[in-house]
A and B are shown apart, each in its own frame.
Chain A
Amino acid sequence: MAVQPDLTVKIGRLELKNPVMPASGCFGYGEEYARFYDLGRLGAIVVKGTTAQARPGNPAPRVAETPAGLLNAIGLQNPGVEEARLKIRRLAGYGAPVIVNVAGHDTAEYCAVVEALSAETAAAAFEINVSCPNVATGGLSFGTDPQTVARLVGELRKLTAKTLIIKLTPNVTDITEIARAAESAGADALSLINTLLGMAIDTGSRRPLLANVTGGLSGPAVKPVALRLVWQVAGCVGLPVIGMGGICCAGDAVEFLLAGACAVAVGTANFSNPQVCPEIIGGLAAYCREHGFSSVRELVGLARRQEP
């Protein structure tokens, strides 16, 4: 009888029973996936990007499939922080820590959401979305400038003692500048990547497939890019990194851990396989057993050690 490997990891003040969580925007507020498995099995649950006021989102069509990928331009549709609070409370009942993804069109809105939930026991941590590519203001425009990121993180740091995770965009020239800016301003962890800006055109109608014209690309198509960015960021900051981008199976998750991520988030893969998260948790344990690791933490950054 093989010893069950230790899958626990720590992200800031968060202690997770395993390093696997659904990614923001791909899991709603959890209720849709509760019918497929016990959500308490997840390391954490990251909910939909939440703003101070309700947002209607972008016009349809909002999604378009591309080779091994998915373009989306949902536009941060969400019910606003007060209705989200009720959903978060219900979700917390499953037992996995709930990480609230926070979005806004300006610093004041990010602050309003964090302030509203800073005393909310159901919210275990905040993931600050400075990387949404599908809204006109805020989102991506915040995440491409190191000074802006530092200022925002500094403001949020004053408002909460909860774990602050900054979600980075891949749509920058040098992601390490942004990562370091977030670290120096008091972030507890970084998560990456958000989607890559992309588009697709319908040759029949000769119009963009998305009503928003551009959208964010996710899915296996972006995985090599995401892995490279995680590698770069994990090499330049001391903060724990949550890696994501196209993870579909335990093998993909292991790659991100080996590149230096402490935990992983699974996004688009939930759509094709609603049970993908528990499958990956099981697969990680199997990988550790088969390769003689007593803890999943031993994998973190292991690929870096062979660097010449």
Chain B
Amino acid sequence: MAQLHRFLVSSHEQATTGVFLLRLSGCLAALPGQFVMVSVLPDSIPLSLRERPGEGFKPAAASAGCDPLLRRPLSVHDCRPGELDLLYRVAGRGTALLAGKKPGDTVDVLGPLGREFPLPAGRQAVLAGGGIGVAPLFYLAKSLLAAGREVTCLLGAKEQAGLYREQELAALGAEVRVATDDGSAGLRGPVTGLLREALSRNRGPVYACGPEPMLQATAALCREAGRECFVSLEARMACGVGACLGCVVPVRRAGRDETARTCVEGPVFSAEEVYGCATRPDSENRPSGT
């Protein structure tokens, strides 16, 4: 059940330029693939009036906590008893504000939200992450490895500095392959360049998260190979709980074109639902949470 939590920042480090690992202390029962909506407001600004019976009326706070107005959706990067990790890229005003949080500050967290990655039936799985798309895959890899599955992780980025969590994933026991656009690490080219070969060795389903062109290419390769594929999508969201209908994505289900709410029917979708759809918007319509 999704709940509102107030978590303490235990550490907050810049993993690489513009990418932060935010470690929160607090209990959240999240599954791999789920996300949270976080308030990016600094601690000096109360999120809301916090008016509850007995607490009295606080008119001074009336206009505080209004800007940025919305929470930011961030995928669960790791979740341990009493600890929650979020890995995010500063992409706009909201995430830039969040980056200012210091150890000892608090973060208002709504979650866990959304659907998790369906677990593979067999012993193997292929995980493909483009850039910050590794964020939800790390927790999935960790869970699968802990359950004794064989995990192949394909990580892609523009350049070596954009590859996150490569060593950690290898240390956990995943087979890690990397690709960079400029060839500064691993294969030169998109991460999907690693996929065909990986599919020949690893018989498991593919779990992908990353930029829209990468997801499309991954879905196409999987379809060609007859391999099951799940994608984790990003969308502009307002409520995160399914009420506002702001984050819909066109999907094809049972031969019918319809829309699905990314927040409650996703963010994990079967690639067939999303990319088997005729009315797919172009990639500029799928920005990340800023």
Name A's B-contacting residues (CB within 8 A).
25-28, 32-33, 35-36, 56-57, 59-65, 67-70, 72, 74, 77, 205, 207, 211, 219-220, 248-252, 268-276, 279-280, 282-283, 285-287, 290
A63 touches B51 (CB 8 A): no
Does the CB pair B51–A282 fall under 8 Å? yes
Smallest beta-carbon distance B236→chain A, Å: 5
Is B217 in contact with chain A by the CB < 8 A criterion? no
- A275: chain B residues within 8 A (beta carbon): 4
Contacts of B243 in A (CB 8 A): 26-28, 32-33, 270-271
Asked whether B258 lies within 8 Å of A280 as measured between CB atoms, the reply is no
Asked whether, in the complex, the Cβ of A60 is within 8 Å of the Cβ of B53, the reply is no
CB <8 Å contact, A56 and B59: no
Once A60-B249, A250-B57 are accepted as A-B contacts, the answer to whether A220 and B51 lie under 8 Å apart by CB is no
- When distances are taken between beta carbons in the complex, the residues of chain A under 8 Å from B2 are 35-36
- Smallest CB-CB A-B distances: 3 pairs: A251-B62, A283-B51, A63-B246
User: Given A63-B236, A272-B39, are A220 and B69 neighbors across the interface (CB < 8 Å)?
Assistant: yes
Report B-chain residues with C-beta under 8 Å of the C-beta of A211: 281, 285
Q: Report which of A64, A68, A280 forms a contact with B66, defined as CB distance below 8 A.
A: A68
Q: Residue B1 at the A interface, CB < 8 A?
A: yes
The reply to whether B57 and A279 form a contact with Cβ atoms under 8 Å apart is no
Least CB separation from A286: chain B residue: B57
The interface residues of chain B, by DSSP majority, are classed as loop
Q: Which of A77, A251, A287 has the most C-beta atoms of chain B within 10 angstroms of its own C-beta? A: A251
Please state if B238 and A70 are interface contacts (CB–CB under 8 Å): yes
Instruction: Select one of B236, B242, B248, B279 contacting A57, CB under 8 A.
Output: B248
Q: With contacts defined as CB atoms under 8 Å apart, how many contacts are there between chain A and chain B in the complex?
A: 160
Task: Using A35-B2, A62-B246 as known contacts, say yes or no to A272 and B284 having CB atoms under 8 A apart.
Answer: no
A residues less than 8 Å from B242 (CB atoms): 28, 32
Q: Which residue of A lies closest to B71 (CB)?
A: A272
Interface band, chain B: 35 or more
Residue of B with least CB distance to A25: B244
> What are 16 A-to-B residue pairs whose CB atoms are below 8 Å?
A26-B239, A32-B239, A61-B235, A61-B236, A63-B238, A68-B66, A72-B238, A248-B65, A271-B69, A271-B238, A274-B4, A279-B49, A282-B52, A283-B51, A286-B51, A290-B57
- Kindly identify which residue among A70, A205, A287 contacts B69, using a CB–CB cutoff of 8 Å: A70
- Interchain CB contact under 8 A, B259 and A77: yes
CB distance from B51 to the nearest CB of A (A): 3
Write the B257-284 contact mask toward A (1 if CB under 8 angstroms, else 0): 0110000100000000000000101001
Interchain CA distance A241-B127 in the complex, whole Å: 55
Residue B47 is within 8 A (CB to CB) of chain A in the complex: yes
Most buried by A among B49, B71, B259: B49
Interface residue? B50 (CB, 8 A): yes
Q: List the A side residues contacting B235 at CB < 8 Å.
A: 60-61
A248 to B39, CA, bound (A): 15
Residue B56 at the A interface, CB < 8 A? yes
What's the minimum C-beta distance from B196 to chain A, rounded to whole angstroms? 31
| B53 and A70 contacting across the interface, CB-CB below 8 Å | no
Q: Are B239 and A249 in contact (CB under 8 A)?
A: no
